[in-house]
A and B are shown apart, each in its own frame.
Chain A
Amino acid sequence: MDLLDQYKISKTNFTKEEILRLSQLSDQLLEDAQCADILILPGHSDFEPQGIFRDGTLSFYKYSKKNLSDYKVCIVEDPQKIKSENLRSAEIWIPILFFSYEFVKSVGSDFVAQLVINYVEKIRGKSKDPTRAHLKIVLGSENGDVPDQIDYDGPAEGLKELPKIIGKMRLK
């Protein structure tokens, strides 16, 4: 089976403004989130205000602080209130990521895809064990339109197809 078939592209049911309104953030955090390039959203299968973050949230946040220091990454929750899943699984869970429209426009869709691929490579290290990856990314839209999202649940190797998927979406 083609690994491209494991990707699902759909419309989200929220905009960035709605995410920030529903998340009840402090003024400072709200200000940070408004101008963030990448938002890490709570929720397991979909954004869930004040919900539990996916497994891998801390790992991605720390990775971004070290490797993406030129960009602003913000977790949509007060640090003291963050609850996260810990699934004790060898599978790779990537938190729900919202890439702002301005960020995708400035760095390009290939960069966004490569960012995710590099992170997964870092997590896997030298391990060659077959493993599954779970990804949900939202690409911000212009003028407050409802954004598109990509879901992927399949072998980690399938993430190498992500540039094609994002590229195809941007062409629409």
Chain B
Amino acid sequence: MVQYDPLNIADSIANTKIRRLINSLPHNINAKQFRQAIGIAKKGKRICDDLIEDARTTNNENAANCALVLKAYFELWESIAKYWDQLMDFNYNDAWGCLQDGLSASHFILTHASNPEQLLVSELCEYLLSYEEIFPYRVFASTGLVVIESHCNICGKNPYDPGCTHMPGELYMGEAAVCVVDKIEANEVSLVQHPEDKRCIIFLPYDRKHPENSAFRDIYRVSTGVEKPLQILDVQRAVIEENTSELHCPDDWDCPCGSGIFFKDCCMGNPKISISRIVHVQITKDLIKLNI
């Protein structure tokens, strides 16, 4: 897959502006000025939209795709800022959605950017994943659908038509190719452990006045205890032996021992099972530092 340098901006004025905006984002988030950071990220996204339009006018596909990856980078920071804004308000279900938006953006950049290390994208992705781990969501709703009619968003043809040469996920003139579904049949909704989209949560009610007494106690403790939001979490795990009969794990779910095999084919018959559980979450002094 072709990769793009999001910092490759020919226009020197836009280049300076973009770098200034990017460098100011972590400062604002660490100062807990989340609304301001959201505004900066939105401004960055608007500049990217203009860059994409300019590149399309001059038929410069590389520039258009670079600007699209850059836009995703601003979306990543916007998601982090919104995530913290929701956390401070104890809106944990909404914060989870922002966390997933950030992870989607980071995966997009890791796939398409030629220099994700310069932008600390892997670090930011790991940072979000460490927070994901301390949320209590473990089961998600997932739909089983049948796609009856669809078209390619780039050429408008049926994606199975030999004339459609576009690869879903690849970038074309500042746009990612996707298969747009026109007609669909819904077959089922299942509860699963590994959905494509973790935004479909099973809503967990809690008292916003006392989140410390709810399933969100870990995320409450960390989010209220952190001095600077971009501090790195150290999630410590330990292997603990538990009684298999007390786990109430469905037969066709992944075995809790982490083998990746169905429970029925793995530890179901054993009286005890070794499970890796979070035992301690610590906020370290290390900060994600960005300077481009």
B179 and A58 contacting across the interface, CB-CB below 8 Å? yes
**Contacting pair B168 A58 (CB below 8 A):** yes
Fill in one digit per residue for A70-92: 1 if any B CB lies within 8 Å of its CB, else 0: 00000100011011111111110
Which of B179, B197, B258 sits near A88, CB closer than 8 Å? B197
Report B-chain residues with C-beta under 8 Å of the C-beta of A65: 165
**A87-B188 Cα distance, complex, nearest whole Å:** 9
Question: Is A132 touching B260 in the complex (CB atoms < 8 A)?
Answer: yes
Q: Does B196 contact A (CB under 8 A)?
A: yes
Report A-chain residues with C-beta under 8 Å of the C-beta of B33.
none
| In contact, B147 and A126 (Cβ under 8 angstroms) | no
With an 8 Å Cβ cutoff, the count of chain B residues facing the other chain is: 33
The number of chain A residues with a CB under 8 A from chain B is 35
Task: Please give, as numbers and ranges, the residues of chain A lying within 8 Å of B144 by CB-CB distance.
Answer: 85-88
Determine the residue in chain B with the shortest Cβ distance to A123: B169
Q: Determine whether the beta carbon of A89 is less than 8 Å from that of B160.
A: no
- A residues 21-68 touching B (CB-CB < 8 Å): 52, 58-59, 61-63, 65-66
What per-residue 1/0 map shows which CB atoms of B258-269 lie under 8 Å from chain A?
111100011000
User: In the complex, what distance in Å separates the CA atom of A131 from the CA atom of B192?
Assistant: 12
Asked if B260 and A154 sit within 8 Å, CB to CB, the answer is yes
Return the chain A residue nearest B187 by Cβ.
Answer: A85
Q: Are A87 and B142 in contact (CB under 8 A)?
A: yes
Tell me which residues across on chain B come within 8 A of A129, comparing CB atoms: 194
Task: Check B23 for interface membership: any CB of A closer than 8 A.
Answer: no
Is the pair B196, A90 in contact by a Cβ cutoff of 8 Å? yes
A84 contacts which of B146, B194, B260 (Cβ < 8 Å)? B146
- Say whether B260 contacts A88, CB under 8 Å: no
> Are A85 and B142 closer than 8 Å at their CB atoms?
no
In the assembled complex, the CB of A75 is this many whole angstroms from the nearest CB of chain B, namely 6
B195 and A58 contact, CB distance less than 8 A: no
User: A154 vs B147: C-alpha distance in the bound complex, in angstroms?
Assistant: 25
Q: Which one of B160, B181, B184, B261 contacts A155 once the chains associate, using CB atoms below 8 Å?
A: B261
B139 to chain A, nearest CB (A): 13
Which residues of chain B in 244-283 are interfacial with respect to chain A, using CB atoms and an 8 Å cutoff?
254, 258-261, 265-266
| Residues 126 to 156 of chain A near chain B (Cβ within 8 Å) | 126-127, 129-132, 154-155
Q: Which residues of A contact B147 (CB under 8 A)?
A: 83-86
Please, which residues of chain B bring their CB within 8 A of the CB of A63? 167
> Is the beta-carbon distance between B142 and A79 smaller than 8 angstroms?
no
Name B259's closest neighbour in chain A (CB-CB).
Answer: A1
A52 adjacent to B146 (CB under 8 Å): yes
A-B residue pairs in contact (CB < 8 Å), sample of 27:
A1-B259, A1-B265, A5-B265, A52-B146, A58-B160, A59-B168, A61-B160, A66-B167, A75-B160, A82-B160, A83-B148, A85-B147, A86-B147, A86-B181, A87-B142, A87-B196, A88-B142, A88-B196, A89-B196, A90-B195, A125-B107, A126-B110, A126-B111, A130-B254, A154-B260, A154-B261, A155-B261
Could you list which residues of chain A lie within 8 angstroms of chain B, going by C-beta atoms?
Answer: 1, 3, 5-6, 52, 58-59, 61-63, 65-66, 75, 79-80, 82-91, 125-127, 129-132, 154-155, 157
Beyond contacts A58-B159, A88-B142: 15 other A-B pairs, Cβ-Cβ < 8 A, are A1-B259, A58-B160, A59-B168, A61-B160, A84-B146, A85-B144, A85-B146, A85-B147, A86-B181, A86-B184, A88-B143, A89-B194, A126-B110, A130-B254, A157-B260
